[in-house]
Structure 1
């Protein structure tokens, strides 16, 4: 059993991760803006938070793992600045708190489709989510050479859950990849959010990707 914090615990990915970790018996602290939306269980503690507060590092002390599914309001005109400010605040707080393992949930846009070509830079990438993907890619690229904070970065595949044109079915199986976009034949691969949560929980337990970026997809 580990003490695990989940940041962004009521979001699409964050809520699935909280449920998966709690089902495994871990002590889960769910950081969320609206704690009323956090799942209820004896081993889940809901904490209202602001990642930009001066004392956020104090709140992260003592955890074995911190999973960050932090996100900002994509409809806001200041989205890019809001996301990067908040995401970097999480990283710096984890550094100060000496978190043993910070697992950041990113996006598929930063995955490579060819040498030095990331998915977000391909002509077919949907323009309606370009700003989101490009912003998260900035964070991923900034982490690559850092060794002053114990980071790992997981990218879901191109298709995530029903909203990504895939499935919500929990299969309990997935395959691992590194920094390259995983494919299903000629098409981009996908995964359900439930199976993504399984992969995230597995890595939180095993801490197998320190200072690495990796991805997962359904089998």
Structure 2
């Protein structure tokens, strides 16, 4: 299977790249600076601005699935607009390239706090203000993606405490949820970035969440 990975040098994307390499996929790895990507026989490194839809589409031709781990930069003062612009450009380029499947790494903010689905995490008291613009962009893009009837899209929302489980831990196990976080016995939703990569590559192989959003945690 041929996979195009956008954002291959980012915090999430670099771990997805490693998981794809370990499973012997053929990979096109896209990043602004590909010097950070180690040479590997299964990896073609492509430096490209995702907002150049035509050039991106040309490079995506022939892929079986596109994974977008695009991030406009948490310190970027224009993260809201830049994320939406980049995410929509990737979606458009995927369609223009004739690729059917697009897996997008979104945010946890659009998950609901509980099963009554009346309150999203981003609107709950105590949500960190410093990441709110990026979280709002991810939520608003999910609303846009849901209306795409051409692609077999999938949106993945990480566990809310994904950053709490990133110390090199790969348990190789996880539990799946849909619109509400997967909580443990202590009421926490945690998943390491290594196991997030496992979840995503499992979805590449198994295609269980076509035209759906899902989440995962321990």
Regarding TM over 0.5, the answer is yes
Stretch of structure 1 that moved more, 181-190 or 44-53: 181-190
Paired residue for 2:43? 44
| Cα contact 1:19–1:39 (8 A) shared by 2 | no
Q: Distance in 2 between matches of 1:145 and 1:80?
A: 20
Stretch of structure 1 that moved more, 198-207 or 47-56: 47-56
Q: Distance in 1 between matches of 2:189 and 2:73?
A: 27
Tell me the alpha carbon deviations over residues 114-144 of structure 1, each in whole angstroms, 9 at most, x when there is no partner.
Answer: 4232110101211221111111111012112
| Cα contact 1:104–1:153 (8 A) shared by 2 | yes
Which ranges in structure 1 are unaligned for 5 or more consecutive residues?
Answer: none
| Cα contact 2:83–2:134 (8 A) shared by 1 | no
SS at match of 1:29: strand
Paired residue for 2:58? 58
The aligned runs of 1:114-133 (5 Å cut-off) are 114-133=116-135
Paired residue for 1:136? 138
Stretch of structure 1 that moved more, 64-73 or 52-61: 52-61
Tell me the alpha carbon deviations over residues 69-100 of structure 1, each in whole angstroms, 9 at most, x when there is no partner.
Answer: 00112322222111110110001111111212
The aligned runs of 1:1-219 (5 Å cut-off) are 2-53=1-52, 54-113=54-113, 114-160=116-162, 164-168=163-167, 169-218=169-218
Q: Distance in 2 between matches of 1:28 and 1:105?
A: 17
Displacement after TM superposition at 1:186 (Å): 4.5
Tell me the alpha carbon deviations over residues 3-52 of structure 1, each in whole angstroms, 9 at most, x when there is no partner.
Answer: 00100000011000011011111101100111110132111111111111
Q: Distance in 1 between matches of 2:109 and 2:188?
A: 12
Displacement after TM superposition at 1:213 (Å): 0.2
Q: Distance in 1 between matches of 2:87 and 2:172?
A: 29
Displacement after TM superposition at 1:167 (Å): 4.1
Structure 1 or 2: larger strand share?
Answer: 1
Q: Distance in 1 between matches of 2:149 and 2:73?
A: 29
Q: Distance in 2 between matches of 1:105 and 1:130?
A: 16
| Cα contact 1:166–1:190 (8 A) shared by 2 | yes
TM-score by length of 1: 0.93
Q: Distance in 1 between matches of 2:207 and 2:176?
A: 14
Q: What is the total number of aligned residue pairs between the two structures?
A: 214
